[in-house]
Amino acid sequence: MNITLRVWRQKGPDDKGRMVTYKVEDVSPDMSFLEMLDVLNERLILEGEEPVAFDHDCREGICGACGVVIDGEAHGPETTTTCQLHMRSFSDGDTITVEPWRAKAFPVIKDLVVDRGAFDRIIQAGGYISAPTGTAPDAHASPVPKADADRAFDAATCIGCGACVAACPNASGMLFTAAKVTHLGMLPQGQPEREARVVQMVNQHDEEDFGGCTNIGECAAVCPKGIPLDTISQLNRDLLGSLSSGAAE
Amino acid sequence: MKDLYIEGDEIRDEKAPAGPVAERWDQRRFSAKLVNPANRRKLSVIVVGTGLAGASAAATLGEAGYQVKSFCYQDSPRRAHSIAAQGGINAAKNYRNDGDSIYRLFYDTVKGGDFRSRESNVYRLSQVSVEIIDQCVAQGVPFAREYGGLLDNRSFGGVQVSRTFYARGQTGQQLLIGAYQALERQVQAGTVEMNTRHEMLELIVVDGRARGIVARDMVTGEIETHFADAVVLSSGGYGNVFYLSTNAMGCNVTATWRAHRKGAYFANPCYTQIHPTCIPVSGDYQSKLTLMSESLRNDGRIWVPNEAGDTRDPREIPEEERDYYLERIYPAFGNLVPRDIASRAAKNVCDEGRGVGPGGLGVYLDFADAIKRLGRPAVEAKYGNLFDMYQRITGENPYEVPMRIYPAVHYTMGGLWVDYDLQSSIPGLFVTGEANFSDHGANRLGASALMQGLADGYFVLPNTINDYLAAGPFEEVDESTPEAGEAAEAVRARIDKLLSINGNRTVDSFHKELGHIMWDYCGMERNEEGLRKAVERIRELREEFWQNVRVLGENEELNQSLEKAGRVADFFELAELMCIDALHRRESCGGHFRSESQTEDGEALRHDDEFAYVAAWEFGGTGEPPVLRKEPLEYEYVEMKQRSYK
Residue B168 has pLDDT above 70, yes or no: yes
- Where residue A248 falls among pLDDT bands split at 50, 70, 90? low
Are A105 and A140 in the same domain? no
DSSP state of B526: B
DSSP B105-125: HHHHHHHHTTT-S-HHHHHHH
**What span, in angstroms and rounded, lies between the C-alpha atoms of B394 and B390?**
6
CA torsion B619→B623→B625→B629, rounded to 10°? 0
Residues 6+ apart with CB under 8 A from B309: B353
Domain that holds residue A160: 117-245
Question: What's the confidence (pLDDT) of residue B358?
Answer: 86
Percent of chain A with pLDDT over 70: 99
Q: What stretch of H or E contains B25? A: helix B24-31
Residue B636 has pLDDT above 90, yes or no: yes
Are A124 and A165 in the same domain? yes
Q: What stretch of H or E contains A4? A: strand A3-9
Q: What share of chain B is helix, strand, coil (3-state, %, to 5)?
A: 40, 15, 40
Report the CATH number at residue A13. 3.10.20.30
CB half-sphere exposure, A221, CA atoms < 13 A:
12
Are A78 and A121 in the same domain? no
Q: pLDDT tens digits for B585-628?
A: 999 999 999 999 999 888 899 999 999 999 999 999 999 999 99
- Where residue B164 falls among pLDDT bands split at 50, 70, 90? very high
**Domain end: A110, A135, A161, which one?**
A110
Are A60 and A79 in the same domain? yes
**What span, in angstroms and rounded, lies between the C-alpha atoms of B341 and B113?**
12
Of the residues A14, A26, A27, A123, the best mutation for testing chain B's interface (the one with the most B CB atoms within 10 Å of its CB) is: A123
CB contact under 8 A, B552 and A115: no
Q: Domain total for chain A?
A: 2
B202 closest CA partner among B479, B492, B434: B492
ipTM: 0.98
Residue B289 has pLDDT above 90, yes or no: yes
Residues 6+ apart with CB under 8 A from B565: B498, B507, B549, B551
* Distances in whole angstroms, Cα of residue B603 to Cα of each of B295, B344, B645: 24, 9, 11
Interface of B with A in 300-359 (CB under 8 A): none
Q: Which three-class secondary structure state does DSSP give residue B336?
A: helix
Q: pLDDT tens digits for B302-325?
A: 999 999 999 999 999 999 999 999
Q: Check residues B297 and B54 and name the one with the higher pLDDT.
A: B54
**Domain end: A110, A128, A157, which one?**
A110
Strands B301-305 and B363-366: antiparallel
Separation in Å, CA of A211 to nearest CA in chain B: 22
Q: pLDDT tens digits for B71-100?
A: 999 999 999 999 999 889 999 999 999 999
CA B561 to chain CA centroid, nearest Å: 25
Are A123 and A188 in the same domain? yes
Q: pLDDT tens digits for B200-244?
A: 999 999 999 999 999 999 999 999 999 999 999 999 999 999 999
DSSP B346-413: HHHHHHTT---SGGG--EEEE-HHHHHHH-HHHHHHHHHHHHHHHHHHHS--TTTS-EEEEEEEEEE-
CB contact under 8 A, A35 and B285: yes
Are A134 and A236 in the same domain? yes
| SS3 per-residue string spanning A182-231 | HHHHCCHHHCCCHHHHHHHHHHHHHHCCCECCCCCCHHHHHCCCCCCCHH
Average pLDDT on B24-47 reads 97
**What span, in angstroms and rounded, lies between the C-alpha atoms of B241 and B252?**
8
**What span, in angstroms and rounded, lies between the C-alpha atoms of B644 and B337?**
10
Are A41 and A104 in the same domain? yes
Number of CB atoms found within 10 A of residue B644's CB? 10
A79 closest CA partner among A232, A230, A219, A229: A219
Question: What's the confidence (pLDDT) of residue A25?
Answer: 96
Q: pLDDT tens digits for B464-498?
A: 999 999 999 999 999 999 999 999 999 999 999 99
Report the CATH number at residue A125. 1.10.1060.10
Question: What's the confidence (pLDDT) of residue B159?
Answer: 83
A64 closest CA partner among A146, A157, A197: A157
Question: What's the confidence (pLDDT) of residue B603?
Answer: 87
Are A94 and A11 in the same domain? yes
Contact B286, A35 (CB under 8 A): yes
By mean pLDDT, which of A102-116, A125-139, B159-173 is the weakest? B159-173
Separation in Å, CA of A223 to nearest CA in chain B: 15
**Domain end: A50, A77, A110, which one?**
A110
Q: B275-410 in CATH: which number?
A: 3.90.700.10
Mean pLDDT of chain B: 96
Are A128 and A86 in the same domain? no
> Architecture of domain B482-611 in CATH?
Up-down Bundle (1.20)
Average pLDDT on B568-592 reads 97
B410 closest CA partner among B567, B166, B238: B238
Question: What's the confidence (pLDDT) of residue B295?
Answer: 83
Question: What's the confidence (pLDDT) of residue B642?
Answer: 84
CA R_g for chain A: 20
What global pTM score does this model have? 0.97
Average pLDDT on B492-509 reads 98
Are A94 and A23 in the same domain? yes
Residue B507 has pLDDT above 60, yes or no: yes
Are A84 and A167 in the same domain? no
Are A121 and A241 in the same domain? yes
Interface of B with A in 555-574 (CB under 8 A): 557-558, 560-561
Residue among A28, A124, A184 minimizing CB distance to B184:
A124
The yes or no reply on domain B6-271+413-469 and CATH 3.20.20.70 is: no
Average pLDDT on B403-431 reads 97
**What span, in angstroms and rounded, lies between the C-alpha atoms of A34 and A23?**
15
Residue among B75, B283, B560 minimizing CB distance to A28:
B283
Strands A3-9 and A95-99: parallel
From the number of C-beta atoms within 10 Å of its C-beta (0-12, 13-18, 19+), residue B373 rates as exposed
DSSP state of B246: S
Spans of all domains in chain B = 6-271+413-469, 275-410, 482-611
Residue B453 has pLDDT above 90, yes or no: yes
**What span, in angstroms and rounded, lies between the C-alpha atoms of B482 and B460?**
33
Average pLDDT on A94-109 reads 98
Residues of B known to be catalytic = 339
B469 closest CA partner among B35, B13, B107: B35
